[in-house]
Chain A
Amino acid sequence: MHMNILSCTAAELGEAIREGRTDAMEAMRAVLEQIDKTEEEYHCYVTLDREGALERAARVQRRIEAGELTGPLAGVPMAVKDNLCTAGMRTTCASRMLENFVPSYTAEALLNLERAGAVLIGKTNMDEFAMGSTTETSYFGVTRNPENTEHVPGGSSGGSAAAVAGKECFFALGSDTGGSIRQPASYCGVVGMKPTYGTVSRYGLIAYGSSLDQIGPLTKDVRDCAVVLEAMASHDEKDSTSVKREDMDFTAGLLEDVEGMRIGIPRDYFGEGISDEVKCAVLGAAECLREQGALVEEFDLSLTEYAIPAYYTIAAAEASSNLERFDGVKYGYRAPGEEGLHAMYKRTRSEGFGPEVKRRIMLGSFVLSSGYYDAYYLKALRVKNLIKQAFDKAFSRFDVILGPVAPATAPRLGESLGDPLKMYLGDIYTIAVNLAGLPAISLPCGRDGRGLPIGLQLIGDCFQEKTLLRAAYTWEQRAKSTSGRAVSRPGGLAE
Chain B
Amino acid sequence: MRGNMGKEYETVIGLEVHVELATRTKIFCGCSTAFGGAPNTHTCPVCAGMPGALPVLNRRVVEYAMAVGLALNCDIVRDCKFDRKNYFYPDNPQNYQISQLYLPICRDGFVEIETAGGSRRVGIHEIHMEEDAGKLIHDEWEDCSLVDYNRSGVPLIEIVSRPDLRSAEEVMAYLEQLRLTIQYLGASDCKLQEGSMRADVNLSVRETGASEFGTRTEMKNLNSFRSVRRAIENERERQIDLLEAGEEVVQETRRWDDERECSYPMRSKEDARDYRYFPDPDLPPVYISQGWLEEIRDRQPELPWEKRKRYGEEYGIPDNDIEIITGSRRLAELFEGASALCGQPKKVSNWLMVETQRLLKEQGMEPEDIRFSPEHLAGLVKLAEKGEINSTVAKEVFQAMFDRDVDPESYVEEQGLRTVNDEGALKKTVEEVIAANPRSVEDYRNGKEKAMGFLVGQTMKAMKGKADPGSVNRLLKELLQHWKMD
A residues near B, CB below 8 A? 84-85, 91, 93, 98, 101, 103-105, 107, 202-207, 209-211, 237-241, 317-318, 320-321, 324-327, 329-331, 341-342, 345, 365, 368-370, 373, 377
B411 sits at the interface (CB 8 A) = no
14 other A-B residue contacts (CB within 8 Å) besides A85-B51, A205-B52: A105-B45, A105-B52, A202-B52, A203-B53, A206-B52, A238-B54, A240-B54, A241-B282, A321-B276, A321-B278, A325-B95, A327-B88, A368-B277, A370-B274
Q: Which of B50, B57, B147, B278 touches A103 (beta carbons < 8 Å)?
A: B50
Tell me if A101 and B51 are in contact (CB < 8 A). yes
Count the A-B residue pairs with Cβ separation under 8 angstroms: how many? 98
B374 sits at the interface (CB 8 A) = no
Write out the residue numbers on chain B whose beta carbons fall within 8 Å of the beta carbon of A327. 88, 90, 95
Tell me if B55 and A240 are in contact (CB < 8 A). yes
Tell me if A341 and B284 are in contact (CB < 8 A). no
Tell me if B52 and A324 are in contact (CB < 8 A). no
Tell me if A210 and B88 are in contact (CB < 8 A). no
Write out the residue numbers on chain B whose beta carbons fall within 8 Å of the beta carbon of A93. 51
B96 sits at the interface (CB 8 A) = yes
Measured CB to CB, the nearest residue on chain A to B87 is A324
Write out the residue numbers on chain A whose beta carbons fall within 8 Å of the beta carbon of B274. 369-370
When A104-B45, A105-B45, A377-B278 are in contact, do A240 and B88 touch as well, CB less than 8 Å? no
B447 sits at the interface (CB 8 A) = no
B123 sits at the interface (CB 8 A) = no
In the docked arrangement, what's the CA distance between A240 and B46, Å? 13
Tell me if A373 and B278 are in contact (CB < 8 A). yes
Contact with A along B85-115 (1 / 0, CB 8 A): 0101010011110000000000000000000
B283 sits at the interface (CB 8 A) = yes
When A210-B281, A325-B95 are in contact, do A203 and B276 touch as well, CB less than 8 Å? no
Tell me if B147 and A202 are in contact (CB < 8 A). no
Chain B, 124-155, CB within 8 A of any chain A CB: 147
When A98-B51, A103-B52, A240-B57 are in contact, do A324 and B86 touch as well, CB less than 8 Å? yes
Closest CB in chain B relative to A342 CB, distance in Å: 8
Q: Which of B52, B94, B282 touches A85 (beta carbons < 8 Å)?
A: B52
B69 sits at the interface (CB 8 A) = no
Tell me if B56 and A240 are in contact (CB < 8 A). yes
Q: Which of B48, B55, B95, B278 touches A317 (beta carbons < 8 Å)?
A: B278
For this complex, 28 residue pairs linking A to B, each with C-beta atoms less than 8 Å apart, are: A91-B52, A93-B51, A98-B51, A101-B51, A103-B50, A103-B51, A104-B45, A105-B45, A105-B52, A202-B54, A203-B52, A203-B54, A204-B52, A206-B51, A238-B54, A240-B284, A241-B282, A321-B86, A324-B86, A325-B49, A325-B94, A326-B51, A329-B90, A330-B93, A345-B88, A368-B277, A369-B276, A373-B277
- Report which residue of A210, A324, A365, A370 has the largest number of chain B beta carbons within 10 angstroms of its beta carbon: A324
Write out the residue numbers on chain B whose beta carbons fall within 8 Å of the beta carbon of A373. 276-278
The 5 closest A-B pairs by CB, nearest first: A324-B95, A211-B281, A210-B281, A368-B276, A206-B51
Measured CB to CB, the nearest residue on chain B to A330 is B93
Closest CB in chain B relative to A41 CB, distance in Å: 31
Write out the residue numbers on chain A whose beta carbons fall within 8 Å of the beta carbon of B88. 324, 327, 342, 345
- Count chain B residues whose beta carbon lies closer than 8 angstroms to a beta carbon of A: 28
In the docked arrangement, what's the CA distance between A238 and B283, Å? 11
In the docked arrangement, what's the CA distance between A346 and B218, Å? 29
Write out the residue numbers on chain B whose beta carbons fall within 8 Å of the beta carbon of A205. 52
Tell me if A330 and B96 are in contact (CB < 8 A). no
In the docked arrangement, what's the CA distance between A268 and B53, Å? 38
In the docked arrangement, what's the CA distance between A205 and B54, Å? 9
Tell me if B147 and A207 are in contact (CB < 8 A). no
When A329-B90, A365-B276 are in contact, do A321 and B52 touch as well, CB less than 8 Å? no
Write out the residue numbers on chain A whose beta carbons fall within 8 Å of the beta carbon of B282. 207, 210, 240-241
Closest CB in chain A relative to B298 CB, distance in Å: 27
B81 sits at the interface (CB 8 A) = no
In the docked arrangement, what's the CA distance between A150 and B278, Å? 42
B308 sits at the interface (CB 8 A) = no
Measured CB to CB, the nearest residue on chain B to A371 is B274
Contact with A along B39-68 (1 / 0, CB 8 A): 000000100111111111100000000000
Closest CB in chain A relative to B175 CB, distance in Å: 31
In the docked arrangement, what's the CA distance between A370 and B85, Å? 12
In the docked arrangement, what's the CA distance between A105 and B43, Å? 14
B198 sits at the interface (CB 8 A) = no
B84 sits at the interface (CB 8 A) = yes
In the docked arrangement, what's the CA distance between A240 and B57, Å? 8
In the docked arrangement, what's the CA distance between A177 and B48, Å? 25
Write out the residue numbers on chain A whose beta carbons fall within 8 Å of the beta carbon of B281. 209-211, 241, 318
Write out the residue numbers on chain A whose beta carbons fall within 8 Å of the beta carbon of B283. 240
In the docked arrangement, what's the CA distance between A468 and B394, Å? 83
In the docked arrangement, what's the CA distance between A398 and B274, Å? 45
Measured CB to CB, the nearest residue on chain B to A364 is B276
Q: Which of A84, A202, A237, A325 touches B56 (beta carbons < 8 Å)?
A: A237
When A104-B45, A327-B88, A329-B90 are in contact, do A368 and B278 touch as well, CB less than 8 Å? yes
Measured CB to CB, the nearest residue on chain A to B49 is A325
Closest CB in chain A relative to B108 CB, distance in Å: 24
Tell me if A321 and B84 are in contact (CB < 8 A). yes
Write out the residue numbers on chain A whose beta carbons fall within 8 Å of the beta carbon of B94. 324-325
Write out the residue numbers on chain B whose beta carbons fall within 8 Å of the beta carbon of A84. 52
Tell me if A330 and B48 are in contact (CB < 8 A). yes
In the docked arrangement, what's the CA distance between A91 and B53, Å? 14
In the docked arrangement, what's the CA distance between A241 and B49, Å? 18
Measured CB to CB, the nearest residue on chain B to A365 is B276
Q: Which of B51, B55, B96 touches A321 (beta carbons < 8 Å)?
A: B96
Tell me if A104 and B54 are in contact (CB < 8 A). no
- Report which residue of B88, B147, B281, B284 has the largest number of chain A beta carbons within 10 angstroms of its beta carbon: B281
Measured CB to CB, the nearest residue on chain B to A203 is B54
Tell me if A238 and B278 are in contact (CB < 8 A). no
Write out the residue numbers on chain A whose beta carbons fall within 8 Å of the beta carbon of B278. 317-318, 321, 368, 373, 377
Write out the residue numbers on chain B whose beta carbons fall within 8 Å of the beta carbon of A238. 54, 56
Write out the residue numbers on chain B whose beta carbons fall within 8 Å of the beta carbon of A365. 276
Measured CB to CB, the nearest residue on chain B to A324 is B95
Measured CB to CB, the nearest residue on chain B to A332 is B51
- Report which residue of B45, B94, B95, B278 has the largest number of chain A beta carbons within 10 angstroms of its beta carbon: B278
Closest CB in chain B relative to A324 CB, distance in Å: 4
Closest CB in chain B relative to A322 CB, distance in Å: 9
In the docked arrangement, what's the CA distance between A370 and B273, Å? 10
In the docked arrangement, what's the CA distance between A251 and B430, Å? 101
Closest CB in chain B relative to A105 CB, distance in Å: 6
In the docked arrangement, what's the CA distance between A49 and B100, Å? 44
In the docked arrangement, what's the CA distance between A283 and B95, Å? 48
Write out the residue numbers on chain A whose beta carbons fall within 8 Å of the beta carbon of B57. 240
In the docked arrangement, what's the CA distance between A369 and B96, Å? 14
In the docked arrangement, what's the CA distance between A461 and B23, Å? 40
Closest CB in chain B relative to A177 CB, distance in Å: 12
Contact with A along B275-292 (1 / 0, CB 8 A): 011100111100000000
In the docked arrangement, what's the CA distance between A147 and B84, Å? 44
Closest CB in chain A relative to B53 CB, distance in Å: 7
In the docked arrangement, what's the CA distance between A240 and B283, Å? 6
Measured CB to CB, the nearest residue on chain A to B45 is A105
Write out the residue numbers on chain B whose beta carbons fall within 8 Å of the beta carbon of A85. 51-52
Measured CB to CB, the nearest residue on chain B to A204 is B52
Closest CB in chain B relative to A320 CB, distance in Å: 8
Write out the residue numbers on chain B whose beta carbons fall within 8 Å of the beta carbon of A209. 281
In the docked arrangement, what's the CA distance between A327 and B53, Å? 16
Closest CB in chain A relative to B274 CB, distance in Å: 5
